[in-house]
Amino acid sequence: MSNAPLMPKATAVWLVENTSLTFEQITNFCKLHPLEVKGIADGDVAAGIKGHDPIASGQLSREEISAAEKDSKRQLRLAESKVRLPEPSRKRGARYTPLSRRQDRPNAILWLIRNHPELKDAQIMRLAGTTKSTLQAIRERTHWNSAALMPADPVSLGLCTQIDLDLEVNRAAKDRAPVDQDHGQTLIPSEVTTRITPNRPVGEADTHSRGDRELASGIDVDSVFAKVEDREVKE
């Protein structure tokens, strides 16, 4: 809340006409120049201004004025308002772009289109401070200077900050649907390669390989034993 009363000059007119306060007290309370208060008392200043009663508006009390009238060194204190008004919200207007950098704006738009295709038109317009028609012309390559445009980072050009750019990119990434990527053939998981198989009794089928079984099936057992017996007789 400001320390000055509402309509300070009109309040000073009322205090000069209805109280015996000194010029210094009125000057300090109304935040005016001493010559202005003296001019109000002489009728040279604020001749057509109607006095505003600070008691009726709740800015001063009669006790406060009476105490100040009795003590010329006492300063008037503005009464605290019982109504709290919210501070007006400040809306961000269009970002001002210096004249020396406006010619680089199309280059920044082209850079954003090429390097961040996920950005929406509204986001690019906020970052580069451009219009819908200019953005559409650069995107469709119908801009009057399309042949000479060179992509340039808007942060390096001073059109936006890195924080603003990262914020818009993160917003666009959240709105974008996830894309399934095919990574091709992968290795067998370790759970499969390191899996322990339960122990089982070793049978005849496990002692010989398939080749051994095929080789054994082609041998004549009688002829083998006959050769062994002939060898023993000769010895």
CB 11 within 8 A of CB 56: no
Distance CA 224, CA 99 (A): 108
Percent of the chain with pLDDT over 70: 64
pLDDT in tens, 96-121: 666 666 788 999 999 999 999 999 99
Residue, of 185 and 208, whose pLDDT is higher: 185
Distance CA 29, CA 20 (A): 14
The token pair that represents 113 in the structure block: 């289109």
Q: What is the mean pLDDT of the chain?
A: 78
The pLDDT, as a whole number, for residue 1 is 43
User: With b meaning 16 or more CB within 10 Å and e meaning fewer, what string describes 64-100?
Assistant: bbeebeeeeeeebebeeeeeeeeeeeeeeeeeebeee
The pLDDT, as a whole number, for residue 114 is 93
Distance CA 48, CA 155 (A): 56
**What single letter denotes the amino acid at residue 216?**
A
For the chain, the structural domain boundaries read 8-70, 99-175
**Of 18, 83, 34, the residue nearest 57 (C-alpha):** 83
pLDDT in tens, 23-43: 999 999 998 888 888 888 888
Distance CA 145, CA 132 (A): 17
The segment with the largest mean pLDDT, out of 179-183, 201-205, 220-224, is: 220-224
Q: Say how far residue 161 (Cα) sits from the centre of its chain.
A: 11
Straight-line distance from the first to the last Cα atom of the chain, in angstroms, rounded to the nearest whole number: 131
Q: Which of 47-61, 102-116, 134-148 is predicted least confidently? A: 47-61
The token pair that represents 27 in the structure block: 């000057």
The pLDDT, as a whole number, for residue 5 is 81
CB 112 within 8 A of CB 124: yes
pLDDT at 226 over 80: no
